Amino acid sequence: MNIAGPNMIARQMFQTYKLTNSNSVTFSKQSGSPSSVVDEVAEGAEIPIDTTPYSSVNVVPKKIGQGIIITKESIEDAMLPVQQDQMARKTLRIANKVDTDCISAINSGVSGSTAATGKSLALDGTEFVLSGSGGPGVGTYDLIDAKALIESVNYNPDTLIINPRAKRYLERLPHFSAVSYIGGTGRMTTGLPATPGMFGTIQGLDCFATNNCGTGSAYVLCRGTNPNIMGQFSPLGYFVSRSPLTTEIKPEASKDALGIYITMRYGVTVINGSAARAITGINVS
């Protein structure tokens, strides 16, 4: 996990649910609008009953894994520790798979998107556009617009996920180091071990970069307990853990070799798409 954990960037966006004694779990999904109000009731009248239904989603954890056979000769003759190197490679691939699945779940579950414009406001009050050779990049206007869509349904956006090739637009902003826009120094604010992938904060959003996020899209969302303005518990989704990252080393006597096998069982789902919005059409060329 020393290698896998820091590379599972998007997993941090989900609440962890440890599944035991079953091969699936069903979560209730809230329906209706967070902006709904109760009814006015006349004196002596019957109090109306709320009939807003719940839907549900069933998550069945899947198994992922990979192995490799290392011959005795490779171990003896290599100029590097082959076993440790191969375990590190496989662990990183597991982490990339988990991260990719989490990003895919977010992309499928978001309630809507906004097209990137690359527009920002300079410190002198003038508007400017950051763009690549084939179209707009991403600017502060895009973050503000995505936040507004989430806030319009009473949720508090606090996170941005973006590809490193797209985050360069944010780092090029003239006010990236300004305290009024950026938390801390504009770079790592709480340390890599505490928040893997985080490179700063902008417009009140903790910013995370991962290569497993598509270059053309970014996501503004609420992570953690995702409270709305009334503090209601309403998580973006769940990461269902059935079996943790497991490594087994088995002798392959007939081949005079060692077999290294790494596996993991999990499922991931978004149950509250209103807590996330995509920014699409980001050009990184």
Q: What are 50-85's pLDDT values in tens digits? A: 888 888 899 999 999 999 898 888 888 876 788 788
pLDDT value, residue 3: 63
CB 47 within 8 A of CB 136: no
CB 223 within 8 A of CB 236: yes
**SS3 (DSSP) at 86:** helix
Task: Extract the tokens encoding 117.
Answer: 């414009």
State the number of CA atoms in the 13 A half-sphere of 14 facing the CB. 28
Query: pLDDT-derived band of residue 189, with 50, 70 and 90 as boundaries?
Result: very low
Query: pLDDT-derived band of residue 17, with 50, 70 and 90 as boundaries?
Result: very high
pLDDT value, residue 63: 96
Residues near 171 by beta carbon (within 8 Å), at least 6 away in sequence? none
pLDDT value, residue 235: 82
The CA distance from 138 to 221, in Å, is 16
CB 243 within 8 A of CB 98: no
CB 123 within 8 A of CB 178: yes
Mean pLDDT (whole number) for 158-169 = 92
Least confident of 31-35, 169-173, 179-183, 218-222: 179-183
- One-letter amino acid for residue 278 of the chain: A
CB 166 within 8 A of CB 284: yes
Least confident of 57-71, 212-226, 227-241, 270-284: 227-241
Mean pLDDT (whole number) for 204-228 = 85
Query: pLDDT-derived band of residue 192, with 50, 70 and 90 as boundaries?
Result: very low
User: Helix H segments across the chain?
Assistant: 4-7, 72-77, 82-109, 140-151, 164-171
Residue 16 bridge partners (DSSP):
239
pLDDT value, residue 186: 42
CB 249 within 8 A of CB 96: no
Taking Cα atoms as reference points, which of 71, 52, 65 lies closest to residue 97? 65
CB 213 within 8 A of CB 271: no
Query: pLDDT-derived band of residue 227, with 50, 70 and 90 as boundaries?
Result: low
Mean pLDDT (whole number) for 177-193 = 47
Query: pLDDT-derived band of residue 193, with 50, 70 and 90 as boundaries?
Result: very low
